[in-house]
Amino acid sequence: MSSDPICKSLDIREAWGQAGIDGLTKAGYVVDQPCFVTALPAGMTLESFRQRPAKVSRRVVEGDAIDLGDRQFEVLQLSGHSPGSIGLWEGATGTLFSGDAIYDGPLLDELADSNIVDYCATMQRLLELPVEVVHGGHDPSFDRRTLRRIATDYLRRRA
């Protein structure tokens, strides 16, 4: 555990374990900080930070529509990184909120619950979407060309 009292309850080695850290390193992440969380909302302290689960009000499945009035998103099943992963697709604008399925950083597919075969199917599916912009769960948003590069590189690596 970190000797820094501020990081005590958020130490990355305790949160991920050595196997998790090895997986992050193998995927291309640099794990050189003791804290698991280094950015917090304004007014929040590391001592009081806790991730709390949200209450489930309704489960969504592939093909469900989420209607926001002026925008409508289709739920896409995007498994692989983790089971049950979804994305939200707005066909009218070509906007994809991909969660952890795809982002412009090292993709993690060797976590305890990851499934490489499913991840390959997800990447193939994403290649077929007429995407204009992707908002991933990590890293900056990106365009169709970047999505195609990430997905194609992943499929080549895992072929």
Q: Are residues 47 and 117 in the same domain?
A: no
Domain holding 114: CATH number? 3.60.15.10
pLDDT of residue 67: 96
Residue 77 has a pLDDT of 97
Q: What is the predicted pLDDT for the residue at 2?
A: 44
How many domains are contained in the chain?
2
Say if residue 81 is in the same domain as residue 44. no
Provide the residue range defining the domain that includes 96: 65-158
- Shared domain for 46 and 98, answered yes or no, is no
β-bridge partners, 136: 99
The reported pLDDT for the residue numbered 5 is 47
- For 38, other C-beta atoms within 10 Å of its C-beta total 11
pLDDT value, residue 153: 97
Q: What's the Cα-to-Cα distance from 49 to each of 3, 26, 83, 114, rounded to whole Å? A: 18, 28, 26, 27
**pTM across the whole model:** 0.77
From first to last of the 159 residues of the chain, give the pLDDT tens digit: 444 444 545 567 776 778 777 877 887 777 777 766 566 777 877 677 677 888 999 999 999 999 999 999 999 999 999 999 999 999 999 999 999 999 998 898 988 899 999 999 999 999 999 999 999 988 899 999 999 999 999 999 998
Give the type of residue at 128: E
Instruction: Identify whether residues 42 and 76 lie together within a single domain.
Output: no
